[in-house]
Structure 1
Amino acid sequence: MMPNKRPRGPQPQWRPKRETLRVLTAVDTVLDRYSDHLPVSLRQLFYVLLSDGVLEKTERDYKRMCEYVGMARRAGRIQWDVIRDDTQIAVDAPPSFSGPEDFWTAVESAADEYRVDRQAGQPVRLELWCETAGMVPQLVRIGQEFGISCFSGGGFDGLAGKHDAAQRAMAGARRTRVLHIGDYDQSGEHMFTALAEDVIAFAGSAGAEVEFERVAVTGEQVTTYHLPTVPPKTTDRRSFSGTATTQAEALPPDILAALVRRAVEAQRDPEVYQQALAREEAERRAIRALLSCGPDRR
């Protein structure tokens, strides 16, 4: 049963009621199904449960699910790291070491993670952009594989972020293509247009070339994947290409990953990519060889 007052801290004694247990059992199934795409956001989890017929598309059911999942995390039933908390902002402290030996151990570990620029030599430099911060970890998983940076941002007023994107394009000395994931609604379409126009204008003033590609969500994807929709907001008078709206998080995580990977691979030269990986491994081995004699060599 739920505590009589708002819970604080761990709740190891919590025992869910039958209806709560029904939803949490369905949550377990979803998390297991998408184990290769964790963490997921609460909104993504909700849309999958909606598709599975576990919940109704109401704000009440969404809040109820959030409450159940929150208590399950407090109780240790759901691991903390499988759910993405969109509101969390973390800034890591500078690295510190217990002593020189600890430092050299860290250096040797870093050698195992040595990476070259995996976009080097490609005809176009790619970036992944997402309207929803909660989806970024899933994009990062794909982006890291190809050496692609991932960014998130919402609203129309991220002027500094748009300027920074143009600066990156100018520094890259080659064409940049932004692969974008956003909601399929009035706001999402206009946000995409505003982002593209502003970044292209900033970059163009310095002779840099930037292109934007809408990877998701599109009207075709809404139909193909039977995504849940709601009518457009009547209070939003801006033009919209569709007749119904849906959020990017309505795309199941595996389908989102497949769409993004397809868009990335369409812009990659596989031979150049394999050459980068081969160079990376050769240089990694060389670094390991230099470190093999330990700190005494210094």
Structure 2
Amino acid sequence: MAQIKWPPVIARAAAIVESYSIPVTLRQIFYRLLMEGLIPNSDYAYKKLSAETAERRRAGKFPPLFDRGRGILQPSSWASPKEGVQALAAQYRVDRTAGQPVALYLGVEKNALAGLIQAWFDALGVPVLPLGGYSSESLDRQVKARVQAEGRAAVLVLSGDFDASGIDISRSFVEMTGCWKKVHRIGLDEELIDRYGLPVLRGKATDSRAPGFIAAHPEIHARCGFGADERGRPYPAQVELDAVDPEELRSLYQRVIDRYWDVDAYRAALADEEEHRAVLRRLGDTL
């Protein structure tokens, strides 16, 4: 690729961010630019994009990006009991999933995307499960205990990378928890990759799961023709979940949620919530 002309690339990046009505991450913008052929798939390009956008964001010349990993951590406090009750009334919530026929869980392989998914579906109150790679025993135990305590059939909507480890991470979590009535793995498959022309990268030949992954997906590997390393180990294909258009990823989750969501039960939960808030507001007025 020719030398990158960063001013027009940054201008295009800003336009991409502003085209969305939902929060997006730097990595998602990186893949959009990669798909448009404006930058190469390299650590240098990603770090340079991060530095260039950060400089402009500090100057107020680039729109905000989603970054849940950083922030100010401090316990909440109020100047008076009245302010405390007023604050509680404003943020008070009931369990908005109460009365739903199934317990929905939204899983995602990457921690960075978990915050986005939570932001997208915060109004529903549906729990989000960030796996952060292979799940841990503690998370598996928490999930199983919660599903058992709820006493409802549990449905998992799960997304992850299309690569040897990503597919296996989903399999492992489902197997280790073993508490799901239904599992919907969304986000990336060969049909979606082809439909949107997502960038197919060369994965790690050293991944012990690569041979099985290649055998399970022969067509995409035949098209890519990544070859093999010096020891004859074939390179697997890899497509990052971040490459999926954020609006499309949100839509993929929403379509599955809509199959199970009871709108009347949700409205009843919101009505209860408003009644409780009214009680708190009246209490605050007496202080």
Contact 2:102 2:153 in 1 (8 A): yes
CA distance in 1, matches of 2:262, 2:191: 27
Aligned with 1:149 (options 118, 127, 137): 127
Kindly tell me the number of residue pairs found equivalent between the two proteins: 262
The structural deviation recorded for 1:89 is: 5.7
> Unpaired runs of 5+ in structure 2?
221-236
Aligned with 1:249 (options 219, 242, 247): 242
CA distance in 1, matches of 2:262, 2:183: 19
Question: Quick check: 1:65 aligned with 2:43?
Answer: no
Q: For residues 1-40 of structure 1, what are the structure 2 equivalents within 5 Å?
A: 19-34=5-20, 36-38=21-23, 40=24
Q: Counterpart of 1:145 in 2: which secondary structure?
A: helix
The structural deviation recorded for 1:111 is: 1.1
- Write the letter of the residue equivalent to 1:279: D
Contact 2:88 2:280 in 1 (8 A): no
User: Which residue does the alignment assign to 2:274?
Assistant: 281
1:157-180 residue CA offsets vs partner (Å, 9 max, x unmatched): 522111111111122121222211
CA distance in 1, matches of 2:248, 2:133: 25
User: Which residue does the alignment assign to 1:216?
Assistant: 187
User: Which residue does the alignment assign to 1:115?
Assistant: 93
The structural deviation recorded for 1:210 is: 5.2
1:101-158 residue CA offsets vs partner (Å, 9 max, x unmatched): xx42232132133322111111111111211222123211233111112231223252
> Unpaired runs of 5+ in structure 1?
1-17, 204-208
Q: Percent identity?
A: 27
Q: Counterpart of 1:280 in 2: which secondary structure?
A: helix
After TM superposition, what 4+ stretches of structure 1 lie above 4 angstroms from structure 2? none
The structural deviation recorded for 1:32 is: 0.5
Q: For residues 182-201 of structure 1, what are the structure 2 equivalents within 5 Å?
A: 182-200=160-178
Aligned with 1:166 (options 138, 144, 157): 144
Q: Counterpart of 2:74 in 1: which secondary structure?
A: coil
1:257-295 residue CA offsets vs partner (Å, 9 max, x unmatched): 111111111111222222222332333334333433x31
Contact 1:143 1:150 in 2 (8 A): no
CA distance in 1, matches of 2:131, 2:71: 16
Q: Counterpart of 1:82 in 2: which secondary structure?
A: coil
User: Which residue does the alignment assign to 1:93?
Assistant: 74
Going from structure 1 to structure 2, the CA distance change for 1:32 and 1:89 (only over 3 Å counts) comes to closer
User: Which residue does the alignment assign to 2:232?
Assistant: none
User: Which residue does the alignment assign to 2:263?
Assistant: 270
Contact 1:142 1:261 in 2 (8 A): no
Contact 2:110 2:133 in 1 (8 A): no
CA distance in 1, matches of 2:284, 2:181: 41
CA distance in 2, matches of 1:29, 1:66: 16
CA distance in 1, matches of 2:256, 2:197: 21
- Write the letter of the residue equivalent to 2:195: T
CA distance in 1, matches of 2:251, 2:206: 34
Going from structure 1 to structure 2, the CA distance change for 1:211 and 1:84 (only over 3 Å counts) comes to same
Q: Provide the alpha-carbon RMSD of the alignment.
A: 2.4
CA distance in 1, matches of 2:116, 2:70: 17
Q: Counterpart of 1:28 in 2: which secondary structure?
A: helix
